Structure 1
Amino acid sequence: MTDSTDRDSDAPTSTRGEDRDSDAENSAPSAAAEASGTEPVRRKKRRKRRRKTEAGSDPAASAEGAETGAGSKGDRASGVDDSAASKPGWFAEHYMKADPRWLGVFRIVLGIILSVDLLRRWANADAFYTNDGIYPNHYSLFAPMGRHVFSLYHAFSTYGEVSVAFAVTLCVFLCFLFGYRTKLFHILAAICITSLNARNLFVENGGTVVVNIITIWTLFLPLGNRLSIDAVRKSMKRFKERNAEELNDRSVDEGVDLPVYRLAFFGLILQWSVIYFFNTVHKGGHGWQDGSALHWFVYQDRIITWFGVWVRNHVPFGVLRVLTYSTLVVEGALSFLLLIPFGQKWFRRLAFVLAFGLHGNIAAMSRLGPFSYVMVSFFILMLGAADWAAVGRYFGKEKRRRTVIYDADCGLCLLASRILKRLDPFQRLHFVENWDHDKLPEGLDPAETEKSVVVVLPDGSYRTEANAVFEIMRALPFGIALVWWLKVPPLSSLGEWLYRKVAENRIAISVWLGLGACGVARHAAPEAPPEPKPWRHSLTRVGGALRELGALFVLVILGSQVMVDNAWVTSKIRIKRPAWVEEIVDYPRLYQGWRMFAPEPPYEDGTVVVDARTVDGRKIDPLTGKEPEFDPDTPTGWGHNQFWCDYENKIRFSGNAHHRKNFEDYLMKYPERTGNPKDRLVAFDVWWIEDKSPPPGQQHGTPLPPKKLLSHGVVKDSLATPWLKKSGK
């Protein structure tokens, strides 16, 4: 965090008392000096910036300028030359334009999705990612479940090794989330997430594939230009504020919010349109045509949540029928709303609302992994400057305005203020140096500002120490999420103690950071900007061209995959592709077959039951820790997470029979997981139990005969026997 730009070896070591008043008095430009042209150049520039700020401080006006792309060169070109001032064409304006602020928001959301996905994998790592689990790495390497499989995590065998690998992966995802070296960690994140998915294809589903796809596509977008550590570092390097006046000058970042134009943005629009289109046209089965599909969906006990159980018990079939047809309408509409070239602001807002409703309900009723969340995350990219202005009207409310009075002689305090300025996109913070006594609130002892930051609220009251930090963060978007604990005893006492420790040692910390013990030069001459290097401009142009060619390449490859993965296309046309094209799709798992619950909804449902006997004679199912339950008609659902849902559904098929020996080995290690020697299994049978889901108007399904998947030893008093007799077997 060292900021060498704040160092000034010639700065005085103290500017307290009368010196402060003298500096303030001398800093005011005289009318004579201004008239004679002898006013310092830096002061003139500062005044011009202030006039600009006052003239352009209207958020709505700023949003309008960003929407139209007027006012700065910035990233105006359609990808090849970001510095060109040429006006983008019609196609680029309608299908390639992205707002850098919403790109930053999307990066944060995608980073959260990646991190949460990793954490849920970590919670199940012993079963699914170690050699003690159901799919050891050596078996995955020598008997892979796919044609071309690559995973970094094949190198890790034990739970300890996997935990270290996952910890490193989490660091990668968090660096991407916060926008530190964004492009580097985006590339690493893409390698990590595709490797995680490829390590165990038993738990791959449509959601994990969509995560792969959106992570790869967005590699071609500038996700770190705004709302990132990279953006803060770049801004702090370009603009080295030395005082409150410069901190309050928000005109210095003009142009950073102008839209960018990328072919990958068009690729993402096409990608999501394709997903919704084929998910619609493939739903041609009887269950979708008669409106009963959602009824069958809520009786999938493998994946159903408590809310889904509530829906099937309380929502009439007539409502479910309407929702079934609504699903078809919404999916079909979304495939076209994204492509409409006129009225895009409102059509894309409508698409966001429809997608949120569709996927929000899916996520609430079922356990499908990250699918719903990543599908909705895409629509953040569809938002523009007008939407940012609308959000700004909430976060920019007057009640969120704060005046921050900081110690002008503290290098650490100035550094913190410079960072806060860049974390304040809606300009709710106004900075005041503590020597400016005229701006201190009534009743505040100036000596207090020597010991603590002071924050003045809109009603004129003020806060100090940790309470001041709380108020500052509360003014920032979602800042409350980081400091809520400062108001919760006894954590609040810890916050006060931490603040005082930092305040007492701020001089030492400033020295350690290279900021100077005290005495920040407020009127030091600015450093001359570096001379532009022609080769950098040429390199940028070449890099931009290569980036767009890369996006075009991905567009063509995935377009060809769409034509081979979807029955609606293959029934009309068939294409042949070279093997290397298939490899490009296979390794990162970028498949394009979109037929969720299609052509028919599932009419049957089941789960795996292990009928085991322990060394002390108990009957137990090692997957639940309870006595085996063979009744497939459960009133509350099976309660499995997505990993076990997908694994159990796949291991039952004969094509995966050779993987069952690994499942047997996993079950035999049950006492190692419980730590109880009496849990040693002497015999067990693994069964697939299932039933026909109840038709509309009924609540109980029809049990089907259990199917034995594997045996270990001999189970003499099998609990499956009564269920086999019911079916006549």
Structure 2
Amino acid sequence: MGNDSTGFWGVLRRPFVLDLRALALLRIATAAVLLIDLAIRSTDLEAHYANMGVMPIVAVLDHGWTPYQFSLHAASGMWQFEALLFIIAAVLAGALLLGYHTRLATVASWVLLVSLQNRNPFIAQGGDDLLRMLLFWGIFLPWGRVWSWDARGKPAPERLDYFSAATVAYIVQLALLYWCTALLKSGAEWTRDGTALYYAFSLDQVLLPAGRLLYPYPELLRLLTFGAYFTELLLPFALFIPVGVAWWRMLVFGVLAVFHLSISVTLFVGIFFLVNLASIQGLLPGGVLDWITHRLAPHAARARRWRPQLPAWQLPWRLRLERTGAPAPGRRRLARAVRETFVAVVLAYVCWWNLDDVAVIRPAGGLMSAPMRWFGYLFRVDQHWGMFAPTVFKDDGWYILEGTTTDGRQLDLNRNGAPVRYDKPASVVALFKNDRWRKYSENYLFVNNAWMRPYYCNYLLRVWHERPQHPPLRHLSVVYMKEVSLPDYETSTPIREVLCECELAVESGKPKQ
């Protein structure tokens, strides 16, 4: 659908007109992040997705699902089955990256991502919501029209600008992310005192070396706190200004790129910053893309001379997700009207969901009743953007996996069996294999998630005893050295809290709580 910028309606829709090349970059970046996410998750196939791990299917059904959620990954409790699904997901993400049968690859990648996230929701973070929504809106975007395998041998589009309900949804989704993130930060440390980043950098579980360098400067942290808060609150308005659209988009793109790169070097946030960097690729204006196209032209010419043949995917049923021929004009108009209406309805629902989530503007009793949430849970358009909100978590600390051997020695499983020490390690972040484990440990710290702890304790014991070089244990305690973050650089005395204990019955070789 082209862009007629004349007239009242043409001016109103200018902020929602996107370049097809920008949509192609959005597709490529989204697929690349999807592959990175799969690679990181694949290192914990048994631990996070199999019944022998920390989150058996029965536990997810009891504590982590609504009746409307589904998961192909929950069809089996074996890690080998999970590995097969991971391989399929990686192949589909690769097809999406190349733009090979793009819509089919997008739909299938979205289904498998929803399935994977539903399998273990206790290792999820805000970036997962955004990655899921990028794939969902991508189903309705022509992000395979250019710079894709599908576009090879086809005539170039008459126009590179594109407008539809899906482009509106993409822009509004980005704005909702940052608006809701800011509005949920209702604590005084964000809105009045400017101490939020001081407390965030006091959390050793997420603090990286660059953040450690900034930590001793309270006035700088105060300035950065207000800068982050007002960036999230005010910057999205620039996306809706109908004049100077290209300039405003480059401003948003540049500020957000610097913003998320800064987060990535100061705080341990996993793929969060990568998803956010990928999400803004669709904002790039035509002038920038003309420059990129010019620079890439010699490489594109060489690529066109290399034409390996890939097998065509044929669906056995009559209804096809990939069009093989041009439909009749009337049928095309009807399909477009149905698609546009569906996207508009889902976008309205997403706005409603986010409005209900923002407590500062929600009336008493809420806006969205529980019976209306089924659609969000089924299609996973549910979302929550409460990063460090309403205030920053203050209960910092580090974990000691205190194992007692059969001959009475105490070892720390978190440090590969070294003797137990209770002093703070030089790098608390280094105790976590990846951000998924950090998020898991954050979740089982909460009292209402105490049911998670025995599964974790039993898993640790089993994995420890699978290695013959490890001395046998008769007891294991998951210990949290709680260190509350205090104002003005004051330090608190760490408190030893035993979250879970597991004893191995010597005669049976089985753990018991």
Question: How high is the TM-score relative to the length of structure 1?
Answer: 0.62
What does residue range 80-229 of structure 1 map to in structure 2 within 5 Å? 89-90=9-10, 93-146=13-66, 148-229=68-149
Q: Which amino acid aligns with 1:707?
A: E
Secondary structure (helix, strand or coil) at the match of 1:684 reads strand
Does structure 1 residue 550 correspond to structure 2 residue 321? no
Residue 576 of structure 1, CA deviation: 4.2
Q: In structure 2, what is the equivalent of residue 686 of structure 1?
A: 478
Q: Residue 2 of structure 2 corresponds to which residue in structure 1?
A: 76
Q: What is the 5 A alignment of 1:245-256?
A: 253-256=155-158
Partner amino acid for 2:416? G
CA distance in 1 between counterparts of 2:33 and 2:469 reads 39
* Structure 1: distance between partners of 2:50 and 2:301: 54
Higher mean C-alpha displacement, 139-148 vs 96-105: 139-148
Distance apart, 1:694 and its partner CA: 4.9
**Residue 345 of structure 1 pairs with residue 271 of structure 2:** no
| 1:707 CA drift (Å) | 2.1
Contact 2:480 2:498 in 1 (8 A): yes
In 2, the alpha carbon distance for the partners of 1:370 and 1:582 equals: 27
Partner of 1:259: 161
> Does 1:562 pair with 2:354?
yes
Determine if contact 2:480/2:497 at 8 Å carries over to the other structure.
yes
1:668 to 449, 455, 461: 461
1:599 maps to 390
TM-score by length of 2: 0.87
Give, in whole Å, the separation in 2 of the partners of 1:402 and 1:120: 31
Query: For 1:415-434, what aligned pairs fall within 5 Å after superposition?
Result: 418-419=305-306
Do the aligned partners of 1:151 and 1:195 also contact (CA within 8 Å) in 2?
A: yes
The superposition leaves residues 598-652 of structure 1 with CA deviations (integer Å, 9 ceiling, x where unpaired) of: 2222233123322112345442233331436564744433322211111111112
**What are the within-5 Å matches in structure 2 for residues 311-322 of structure 1?**
311-312=214-215, 316-322=217-223
Superposed CA deviations along residues 432-463 of structure 1, whole A, max 9, x for unmatched, are xxxxxxxxxxxxxxxxxxxxxxxxxxxxxxxx
Q: Give the length in aligned residue pairs.
A: 489
1:362 aligned partner:
263
Considering only CA atoms, is the larger Rg found in Structure 1 or Structure 2?
A: 1
1:275 matched to 2:275? The reply is no
CA–CA distance in 2 between the matches of 1:590 and 1:629? 45
Is 2:99–2:149's contact at 8 Å kept on the other side of the alignment? yes
C-alpha deviation, 1:329, in angstroms: 2.4
Find runs of 4+ consecutive structure 1 residues off by over 6 angstroms.
Answer: 85-88, 401-404
Aligned with residue 624 of structure 1, among 415, 420, 429 = 415
Q: 1:625 to 1:254 in 2, by over 3 A?
A: closer
- Which secondary structure state, in structure 2, belongs to the residue aligned with residue 229 of structure 1? coil
Cα deviations by residue, 1:126-177 (Å, 9 ceiling, x for unpaired): 2111122100123323443555432111123222222122111111111111
Cα distance in 2 for residues equivalent to 1:379 and 1:534: 32
Comparing 102-111 with 384-393, greater Cα deviation is found at 384-393
What amino acid maps onto 2:2 in structure 1?
R
What amino acid maps onto 1:260 in structure 2? Y
**Matching residue of 2:198:** 295
From the superposition, tell whether residues 541 and 603 of structure 1 become closer, same or farther in structure 2 (CA, over 3 Å).
same
Q: What code does the residue aligned with 2:176 have?
A: V
Corresponding residue number in structure 2 for 1:726: none
Partner of 2:147, secondary structure, is coil
The aligned counterpart of 1:587 is 378
Q: Distance in 2 between matches of 1:166 and 1:389?
A: 37
| Matching residue's letter, 1:602 | F
Shift of residue 394 of structure 1? Answer: 4.2
For residues 460-539 of structure 1, the aligned pairs below 5 Å read 535-539=327-331
1:550 deviates by: 1.6
Change (3 A) 1:88 1:189: farther
State which drifts further: 537-546 or 122-131. Answer: 537-546
- Does the residue aligned with 1:150 lie in a helix, a strand or coil? coil
SS at match of 2:501: strand
1:638 aligned residue (426, 429, 435): 429
- Of 237, 255, 260, 1:336 maps to 237
Offset of residue 278 of structure 1: 2.3
Q: Which amino acid aligns with 2:349?
A: I
Q: Which amino acid aligns with 1:548?
A: E
Alpha carbons 2:398, 2:428 under 8 Å: kept? no
Counterpart of 2:511?
A: none
Do the aligned partners of 1:213 and 1:590 also contact (CA within 8 Å) in 2?
yes
Rounded to whole Å, the distance in 2 between the matches of 1:598 and 1:607 is 22
The residue that corresponds to 2:314 in the other structure is none
Q: Deviations over 1:109-129 (max 9, x none)?
A: 000000100110001222111
Aligned position for 2:321:
none
Shift in CA distance, 94/178, structure 1 to aligned 2, threshold 3 Å: same
Structure 1: gaps (5+ residues): 1-74, 79-84, 236-252, 405-415, 421-508, 514-531, 716-729
Aligned partner of 1:707 in structure 2 is: 497
| Alpha-carbon separation, structure 2, partners of 1:403 and 1:225 | 18
Alignment CA distance shift 1:254-1:180 (3 Å): closer
- Measured in 1, the distance between the counterparts of 2:300 and 2:276 equals 37
Query: 1:578 and 1:602 mapped to 2: Cα distance?
Result: 28
For residues 629 and 680 of structure 1, the distance between their equivalents in structure 2, rounded to whole angstroms, comes to 16
Tell me, what secondary structure is at the counterpart of 2:236?
Answer: helix
Measure, in 2, the Cα distance between the counterparts of 1:561 and 1:134: 31
Match of 1:659 in 2: 452
**Paired residues of 1:309 and 1:637 also in contact (CA < 8 A):** no
Counterpart residue number, 2:318? none
Evaluate the alpha carbon distance shift between residue 599 and residue 368 of structure 1 in structure 2; reply closer, same or farther with a 3 A threshold: same
Q: Is the alpha carbon distance of 1:225 and 1:629 closer, same or farther for their aligned partners in structure 2, counting shifts above 3 Å?
A: farther
1:644–1:255 CA distance, 2 compared to 1 (3 A):
closer
Query: Unpaired segments of 5 or more residues in structure 2?
Result: 312-323, 506-513
**Cα drift, residue 708 of structure 1:** 1.8
Q: Counterparts of 1:143 and 1:317 in 2: how far apart (Å)?
A: 41
CA contact (8 A) 1:670 1:679 kept: no
Shift of 1:393: 5.1
Counterpart secondary structure, 1:338: helix
Looking at structure 2, the residues matched to 563 and 254 of structure 1 have their Cα atoms a distance apart, in angstroms, of 41
Identity among equivalent positions (%) equals: 23
Kindly tell me: are residues 628 and 553 of structure 1, through their superposed partners in 2, closer, same or farther at Cα, counting changes over 3 Å? farther
Matching of residue 648 in structure 1 with residue 441 in structure 2 = yes
SS in 2 for 1:381: helix
Distance apart, 1:687 and its partner CA: 1.9
Distance 1:377 1:714 in 2: 47
